[in-house]
Amino acid sequence: MTYIVDAVDEALGLLLLVAEHPSLGVTELARRAGLTKARAFRLLATLEHRGMIAREPAAAVYKLSYNALLVGNAARDQFDLVKVVAPRLAAIGAACGENVIVRVRDGLESVCVARHESSQSVRVHTEVGNRRPLHVGASGKLLLAFAAPEVVDAVAAQSLERFTERTIATAEQLREELAAIRAAGHAVSLGERDADAVSAAAPLRDHGGAVVASLSIASPASRTTPEALDRHVAMVVEEAAALSRALGYAGG
């Protein structure tokens, strides 16, 4: 039997909405959460009382507050994957000069859980917590390629949103791409999510060999030559293998 307290479930849903979409007012938050405005206002007031969110009086919009930061920092400290990989990201970033990103699968989306951002003025922007569908980008495709068959079927059954002219848009094309990724052991994206973004991703495996995350290098297409992309692929594959060993994976 599942025990769910509706008010808690609704409040946490609102908290996640505020986290993903800061600066929304109560009317829009209520609409997105499927609540009445009065119900949403009471729940938001409770979250504000607990220091999880804050209301900006001038604009009447909500953002995360100090206790949400405490929870987020505690979660990061307790998340073994992030604890293992985060210290290495800056070194990888220094070696390639680009963004280095770790993403995990959450349902039919990928979520950024850690990243090192390049100091170059032109770079690919990604924030921790950013979500993307699994059919676009090197990381999403890689996570999908190593997901359970029912996850692949669920994504393939959807209408695949097209972001650029290079986005995979059919189930047949998607399945062919996933098979190629499994065979190669890594994934590449050439402008699938953002026209000027190139990325290469490799799997992070746990002690049992399961793919638990992706490690990727993302760079602007304007400075990523084929030779540079080859270097990024080799680097991300090597670094992902080393990090997988640190996570307890003993395979090849």
CATH architecture of the domain with range 6-69:
Orthogonal Bundle (1.10)
Name the β-bridge partners of 109. Answer: 106, 133
CB 107 within 8 A of CB 179: no
Task: Establish how many alpha carbons lie within 13 A of residue 60's alpha carbon, considering only the half-sphere containing its beta carbon.
Answer: 6
Q: How confident is the model at residue 203 (pLDDT cuts 50, 70, 90)?
A: very high
Residue 214 has pLDDT above 60, yes or no: yes
Domain boundaries defined on the chain = 6-69, 79-246
Q: What is the pLDDT of residues 89-105, one digit of tens each?
A: 999 999 998 999 999 99
Q: How confident is the model at residue 1 (pLDDT cuts 50, 70, 90)?
A: very low
Q: Residue 177: which of 236, 231, 134, 126 has the closest Cα?
A: 134
- CATH number assigned to the domain with residue range 79-246, chosen from the 4 options 3.30.450.40, 3.40.30.10, 3.30.750.24, 3.30.43.10: 3.30.450.40
Residue 115 φ then ψ, to 5°: -160, 150
**When comparing pLDDT for 168 and 252, which is higher?**
168
Share of the chain above pLDDT 70, in %: 94
Q: What is the pLDDT of residues 204-213, one digit of tens each?
A: 998 889 999 9
Task: Establish how many alpha carbons lie within 13 A of residue 31's alpha carbon, considering only the half-sphere containing its beta carbon.
Answer: 5
Residue-by-residue DSSP string for 108-129: TEEEEEEEE---SSS-----TT
Q: What is the pLDDT of residues 5-53, one digit of tens each?
A: 999 999 999 999 999 888 899 999 999 999 999 999 999 999 999 999 9
